[in-house]
């Protein structure tokens, strides 16, 4: 069993279809997907607003490195260009946490788990809380992590705008 929490974001091109491409690839491996939230850019770079979604998926045959490779494949397909750190992007897909069934820890530079900046990103945590109210990240309840964020961060996560189309169950 390998359960993963993925965060996807886009602020270039057709933002919704970039996020939809993640759901299309995951297909029936998706356990749940948050709504799509319009979010203010995090990280200090002046740029357009993002659309963000958090997804939980399960695939017994995939380990955390397989999930990372899948994220990179999806970014590559969306013609993602890596230039400005935390800058504009067609598609960014991050591995937030993996459970096997206990939460996997990794300090490898190419795969840090849990994702080291997720705990301060409302655009990851607020959608996650929507689909998994009892979630924990690195041993702390996601609900508590959200409560510890400042009003500016929380306020940056706007209304839900759309929902992804998921395979029929
Ligand atoms: N949990 C993780 N999820 C995704 N990438 C990770 C993770 N841990 C380490 N990385 C590495 O981070 C590198 C940079 O990833 P990326 O370009 O998506 O960063 P970013 O989105 O600009 O910033 P951030 O890492 O803060 O989200 C990648 O080479 C990837 O291997
Ligand atoms: N709101 C928001 N801000 C960001 C995002 C993102 O997905 N959403 N991704 C970033 C690169 O990791 C940098 N800043």
Please give the share of the chain, as a percent, with pLDDT higher than 70.
Answer: 99
Band of residue 41 on the pLDDT scale cut at 50, 70, 90? very high
Q: In total, how many domains does the chain have?
A: 1
**How much distance in Å is there from the Cα of 169 to the middle of ligand 2?**
31
Classify residue 78: in a domain, yes or no.
Answer: yes
Classify residue 27: in a domain, yes or no.
Answer: yes
How high is the ipTM of this complex?
0.97
Residue 1 has pLDDT above 80, yes or no: no
User: Do the Cβ atoms of 35 and 159 come closer than 8 Å?
Assistant: no
The atom number, within ligand 1, closest to the CA of 87 reads 22
Residues 14, 163: Cα–Cα separation, whole Å: 14
Band of residue 134 on the pLDDT scale cut at 50, 70, 90? very high
- The CB of 86 under 6 Å from ligand 2? The reply is yes
Q: Taking all residues of the chain, what is their mean pLDDT, rounded to a whole number?
A: 95
Q: What is the CATH number of the domain that holds 20?
A: 3.30.70.560
Classify residue 167: in a domain, yes or no.
Answer: no
Please give the share of the chain, as a percent, with pLDDT higher than 90.
Answer: 91
Classify residue 52: in a domain, yes or no.
Answer: yes
């Amino acid at each position: 069993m390998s359960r993963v929490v993925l965060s996807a974001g886009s602020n270039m091109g057709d933002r919704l279809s970039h996020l939809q491409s993640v759901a299309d690839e995951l297909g029936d491996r998706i356990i749940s997907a948050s709504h799509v939230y319009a979010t203010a850019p995090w990280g200090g770079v002046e740029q357009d607003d993002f659309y963000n979604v958090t997804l939980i998926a399960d695939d017994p045959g995939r380990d955390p490195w397989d999930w990372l490779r899948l994220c990179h494949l999806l970014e590559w397909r969306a013609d993602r260009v890596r230039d400005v750190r935390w800058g504009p992007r067609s598609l960014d897909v991050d591995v937030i946490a993996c459970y096997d069934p206990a939460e996997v820890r990794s300090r490898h530079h190419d795969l840090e788990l849990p994702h080291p900046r997720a705990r301060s990103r409302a655009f990851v945590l607020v959608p996650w809380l929507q689909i998994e109210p009892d979630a924990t990240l690195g041993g702390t309840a996601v609900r508590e992590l959200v409560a510890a964020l400042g009003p500016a961060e929380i306020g940056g996560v706007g209304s839900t705008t759309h929902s992804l189309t998921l395979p029929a169950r």
